[in-house]
Structure 1
Amino acid sequence: MTTLPERPNTALLVIDVQNGVVAGSHNRDGVIANINTLLGRARAEGVPVVWVQHSDESLPQGSDAWQYVPELVREDTEPLVHKRYGDSFEDTELETVLAERGVGRLIVTGAQTDACIRSTLHGALVRGYDTTLVGDAHTTEDLTAYGAPPPEQVVAHTNLYWGFQKAPGRQGGTVETAEVSFGSTD
């Protein structure tokens, strides 16, 4: 369904799985393993993979904390989009990268669930993309000291509410890694 009918392709989006972002995150290793599974499948099926990398004052570009985790390896042909805001589309070249590849549907993975993942999901939907969240391939840190729910509840709630998101001509959805289809529907 997508409101971008001239863009029939699907892309796998890997957001901010950086050393300083996921160091203490909930189910870090399991999430990274699931993203690696999806990377292998996407590459084998010829599905575009797009990487997003955040930087700000606490995550300076070029620092060790800013680097992607060593367990995930980007291929040279896979675009890397640099961002400074939560929404991966905001003030970046992401839209151009996706348009060049004819992408109208996104499969979203990465970190952090309650920040950049949520912002990007909503940013994609309002820009016309069908946007599927992989429920066991995103994570967040424990922010209970600041009044947030425990990270496993943040992940579960995001999975729940994103499963019901839709807008005219486009929709969200949540699936597990094993259920991901890179075809037109899940």
Structure 2
Amino acid sequence: MYPDPQQGQKKGTGSMALNIDTRKTALLIMDCENDLVHPDGKIGSAMGYVAMIEKAGTLQHIRTVLDAARTAGLPVIYIKIALDRLKPEDFPKRGAFFLGLPGLAGAALQPGSWGAEIHNDIKPAPGEPVLGKAVVSAFARSELARHLAERGISDLILTGVATNMVVESTAREAVDRGYSVITVEDGVATFSDAVHQASLATLRMLGDVAPAGQVAAAIAG
């Protein structure tokens, strides 16, 4: 029988024990730019992200895992959308997200702008890399694979926005590349709870899914 993706990992139960080798694990914080996650950002509110982030306390949960990772010495890697890595002819011509980028309140995620900076609540510490990617997966047109290889990383903890975009896409590609993944279920969000839960069901097939408190505790050992 095909395995039940919910088995042992029902939402909020934390019933599956997590074993995290802090020597081989990195935390990824993905697509948490102001334009996407801040109420004053150019597209986060219009796309429904901000309302769900505020309702679920997503940034606070990311912060919980971030603090644990820093204390334990885990590499923390930030991922940002870098539209300047795309030639105009390579920019996706379909899809609500891509069509919305240039049209909502002016061009969003412009390099050097406040909107392209990481939200202040979870901003990078000195020395923590911030890698550009284009467009969905954290591996796409980025230096992520090199950074992970240099650090001997085999396991990834995934956080960020949106669950069904960068998080799920990165998880799929990470597994194809031989990494093991843990998704922080309350440290990711998208425009609706239904879509969020559907994506988490897929993520449970690809790796472990657990709340921030459980992940932080596992990091602390």
TM-score, length of structure 1 as denominator length? 0.81
Count of residue pairs brought into register by the alignment = 163
Where does structure 1 differ by over 4 angstroms across 4 or more consecutive aligned residues? none
What residue is the counterpart of 2:163 in the other structure?
113
- Return the offset for 1:78: 1.1
Separation in 2 of the partners of 1:131 and 1:18? 22
Does 2:56 align with 1:19? no
Separation in 1 of the partners of 2:149 and 2:205? 26
What residue is the counterpart of 1:182 in the other structure?
219
Report the structure, 1 or 2, having the larger strand content: 1
- Return the offset for 1:13: 0.4
- Corresponding letter in the other structure for 1:90: A
Does 2:186 align with 1:159? no
- Per-residue CA deviation, residues 120-160 of structure 1 (Å, 9 max, x unaligned), is 1111110100011110001123xxxxxxxxx1111111122
What residue is the counterpart of 2:142 in the other structure?
92
What residue is the counterpart of 1:144 in the other structure?
none
Query: Is the CA contact (8 Å cut-off) linking 1:21 and 1:112 kept in structure 2?
Result: no
Query: Is the CA contact (8 Å cut-off) linking 2:72 and 2:220 kept in structure 1?
Result: no
Separation in 1 of the partners of 2:79 and 2:24? 19
Report the structure, 1 or 2, having the larger helix content: 2
For the aligned residue pairs, the C-alpha RMSD in angstroms reads 1.9
Structure label with greater radius of gyration: 2
Q: Sequence identity of aligned pairs in percent? A: 29
What residue is the counterpart of 2:127 in the other structure?
77
Does 2:177 align with 1:127? yes
Secondary structure of 1:81's aligned partner? strand
- Return the offset for 1:62: 1.4
Separation in 2 of the partners of 1:163 and 1:52? 22
Separation in 2 of the partners of 1:64 and 1:116? 21
Where does the alignment leave 5 or more consecutive residues of structure 1 unmatched?
1-7, 142-150, 166-171
- Per-residue CA deviation, residues 14-63 of structure 1 (Å, 9 max, x unaligned), is 00111111232243241100111111100111111111011325422112
- Return the offset for 1:73: 2.0
- Corresponding letter in the other structure for 2:159: T
TM-score, length of structure 2 as denominator length? 0.69
